[in-house]
Amino acid sequence: MAQLLILEFPDPRLRTRASAVNPAWLHEPATQRLIDDMFETMYEAPGIGLAASQVDVHRRFMVIDVSEEKDQPLVFVNPVITARSGEQIYQEGCLSVPGIFADVARAERITVTALDRSGSAFELQTDGLLAVCIQHEIDHLEGKLFVDYLSPLKREMVRKKLAKQRKQTDAA
């Protein structure tokens, strides 16, 4: 197992639109290792989700675990939201935008279809934090970040704050 490097805003690679996963690719040992490495990277961060885009793999899949005990790993391959209803506002963070938190409005309840890591299709109806996380990760696959929901001025403040944080970390 290995920890992977997480791309950070405003890295232009985070703007790449990921392409569909060929189900045959899931049967390759290297792919299964990549999924394991993404879970390790997510748990170590620590985070509740990680999209392939964030580790510079521009394929449509993500790993998620929103459980308290960190014992409910979920893999979504080629996820599609087929129904959405209601609205919830959640204070979001992102491993690609470290140390920044902001309220984002998203659907409260969603239905998502996807393949699991072995290539089997499933459908999930969910709400609350898991629904927020799935929407956040699918945004990554589209090259979209939660800071894109903020005003351009706020987004510029985020960019400057991260640049300053990095300067301090690099100097230390």
Give the residue numbers annotated as catalytic, written as ranges: 137
Binding span for ligand GNR by CB under 6 A among 12-20, 76-84, 89-97, 115-123? 89-97
Residues 6+ apart with CB under 8 A from 41: 3, 4, 6, 50, 55
65 contacts 72 by C-beta, under 8 angstroms: yes
- Told to check if 130 binds ligand GNR by CB under 6 A, we report no
Identify the residue among 60, 136, 141, 158 touching ligand GNR (CB under 6 A). 136
| Percent composition of the chain: helix, strand, coil (DSSP 3-state, to 5) | 40, 25, 35
What's the closest the beta carbon of residue 27 comes to ligand GNR, in angstroms?
26
40 contacts 1 by C-beta, under 8 angstroms: yes
- Told to check if 64 binds Ni ion by CB under 5 A, we report no
- Told to check if 93 binds ligand GNR by CB under 6 A, we report yes
By the criterion CB under 6 A, which residues form the site for ligand GNR? 47-51, 54, 90, 92-96, 132-133, 136-137, 140
